[in-house]
Amino acid sequence: MASEHLPLIFVRHGETDWNAQGLIQGSFETDLNERGLMQAQIVAALLAEQADRFHGFDLWVSPQRRALQTMARISTALRRDDVTVDARVRELGFGVWEGRPFWELKASPVYPADADGRFFWRPEGGESYEDGVVRVGEWHGALTSPTLVVAHGAIGRCLMGNATGLSPPEIVNLSTPQGCYCDLSNGRIEWFDANGKRA
């Protein structure tokens, strides 16, 4: 079965203190905070309700701690210990901007004002969304089984765009909520939370 037709579930890691403070994480290692642990448990419970469906899914995760901590809750809930760690689904690197607030980046003259420009913009020492689509596209294209992956916000946008054929401006404007899971099967982006399907 071609990878573009395989069932694919994406989960963004739970909240960290840096998320709450609006700081750019990128390659920095951060841990889930109390709210993030609760979000991870919520999505784990949502997935566990469909444990039979996910029995045949491969489990993949970014090597970064916040993603690993989220996957730990999910794999426990699914009673699985066969998780593959892959650096191709790590977060985009934001180079010199890591550790600085998003508002500072958005106010900087180096940051493109238009969505198309932001897709191709590569921060000093970092990666562009274009780079991320290539990286995660290589991972996605090599899949041979239904897959559930825990990763990050920016690389998650790249994955969603790659899986559903979105344009560069659409990719950078995608929402990546925490405490939910995203079903990318059948070329659609569908988010689900504890209250059922969300827009």
Catalytic residues, by residue number, are 13, 91
Amino acid at 125: G
| Distance, CA of 140 to CA of 163 (rounded, Å) | 8
Dmax of the chain from CA atoms?
50
Tokens representing residue 41 in the block: 């448990």
Q: Are strands 196-198 and 181-183 parallel, antiparallel or unpaired?
A: unpaired
| Distance, CA of 57 to CA of 166 (rounded, Å) | 25
